[in-house]
Amino acid sequence: MSGHPSTYEPKYAATKWLDHRLPIIRMGADFMTFPSPRNLNYWYTFGGILTLCLVSQIITGIILAMHYVPHTELAFESVQRIRRDVPFGWLLQPMHAVGASMFFFAVYVHMFRGLYYGSYKAPREVLWIIGCLIYLVMMATGFLGYTLPWGQMSFWGATVITGFFGAVPVVGESLQQWLLGGYAVDNATLNRFFALHYLLPFVIAALVGVHVWALHHVGQNNPIGITPKTKKDTLSFHPYYTVKDAFAVVVFLLIFAFFLFYQPDALGHADNYIEADALKTPPHIVPEWYFLPFYAILRAVPDKLAGILLMLGAIAVLFVLPWLDTSKVRSMRFRPVARGFFWIFLFFCFILGWCGAETPDNMVPFLSVGDKGLNFTWLSRIATFYYFAYFVIILPILGLVEKPKDRPESITKAILGDSSHGAAVPAE
């Protein structure tokens, strides 16, 4: 599976026998000794954190599925039953709900990390694209799962999102009905959403396997983006990065536990404690926080279809990013101009999230006086423009005109300067 020469030697007759037939122990051993750049910082621990998130969501999810009832008349009640009567249900149900938020938080850090250090550039294009696919399936899973508790936001969120499909020219209406299994979000919808919500995490798990495979084939990127050249530039994954990842995971779990035990509802919406009612539209329909930036992009234009195309485009553009960024220099550390644009990009992503949570006609505080000034529609238009401009204008042009800073020859030299003979590289 990995691209480095195997150092595993089976010691016993049984392991030798197995190694000839299925080198599974070898695979594990190679995984643990995988040479990783020695300069990986804490931003590189989120891959491990995300794996933990996926495992946690699958385990809690399977147990919840044993008690949850996917029926419009019973779903809301069954969630209450889980929280009140099922042993440890009071822990598992919020762990799954808060876990979804933590999962998205981690994936956003992981993606921005990739953007900053140029982890999508050759030879990691396929690795990046698989990552984008994982993110896409995660979004679908998150959306489907949010429907299941059958609260007001579940129902109306599902109604709004599936309504987009109705905007597709010609086939829109029949496509929407096919997806819903009827004319509106109802029992058939809830049933298929539950089935798919159970299926997709395993698709994610499979994609994660391919993601890690690709990672081990091309090797990890690193904060300076210089490919490791000698053995000195790398460290064995275990124990160096297992211990570093473990520390980061526990810090992450502390944040997770804080929300889980002390603020379990802070990341959700109060309206989802009201049972779904098809006859009563909530005053503000908002998606979960992790979809807010895309929701803002969707609402930035008055035309429904154009909005959907923009929203899909916002994700699609990530897939072609490796070919949009023309710079050969991976890490933003050596691209002072691009780095500035990156931070502005991050800023506008937060602005988009803010816009997504607000009523579009409301005026923006600090940027308006009375009804004069900027409203949220216009703010989201500005932010949407920058979002796309960053990918299709700034990065392509900047790669051609920007003069990057001098880069060190190797990772080891970057750390130790030119007098690299003092480097104590431990035996692996």
Contact positions vs other proteins (CB under 8 A):
38-39, 41-43, 77, 80-81, 83-84, 90-91, 94, 101, 105, 108-109, 235, 239-240, 243-244, 246-247, 250-251, 253-255, 257-262, 264-267, 269-271, 273-275, 283-284, 286, 289-290, 292, 350, 353-354, 356-358, 415-416, 423-426
Tokens of 388: 């796309």
Amino acid at 362: N
Q: Are 377 and 302 in contact (CB under 8 A)?
A: no
Q: Are 409 and 224 in contact (CB under 8 A)?
A: no
Q: Look at strands 363-369 and 372-375 and give their pairing.
A: antiparallel
Residue with Cβ nearer other proteins (30 or 275)? 275
Residue with Cβ nearer other proteins (12 or 262)? 262
- Least distance from C-beta 289 to other proteins, angstroms? 4
Q: Report d(CA 159, CA 425) in Å as an integer.
A: 59
Q: Are 295 and 289 in contact (CB under 8 A)?
A: no
Residue with Cβ nearer other proteins (91 or 374)? 91
Residue with Cβ nearer other proteins (8 or 90)? 90
Residue with Cβ nearer other proteins (35 or 94)? 94
Residue with Cβ nearer other proteins (39 or 410)? 39
Query: Taking the CA of residue 370 as centre, how many other CA atoms within 13 Å lie in the half-sphere pointing to its CB?
Result: 1
- Least distance from C-beta 240 to other proteins, angstroms? 6
Tokens of 10: 């089976």
Residue with Cβ nearer other proteins (246 or 316)? 246
How far CA 318 is from CA of 114, 201, 392, in Å, comes to: 11, 21, 10
- Least distance from C-beta 99 to other proteins, angstroms? 14
* Residue the block writes with tokens 């007098």: 419
Residue 188 has phi, psi (to 5 degrees) of -60, -40
- Least distance from C-beta 243 to other proteins, angstroms? 5
DSSP structure string for 37-68: ETT--GGGGHHHHHHHHHHHHHHHHHHHHHH-
Alpha helices in 219-303 (DSSP H): 242-262, 292-299
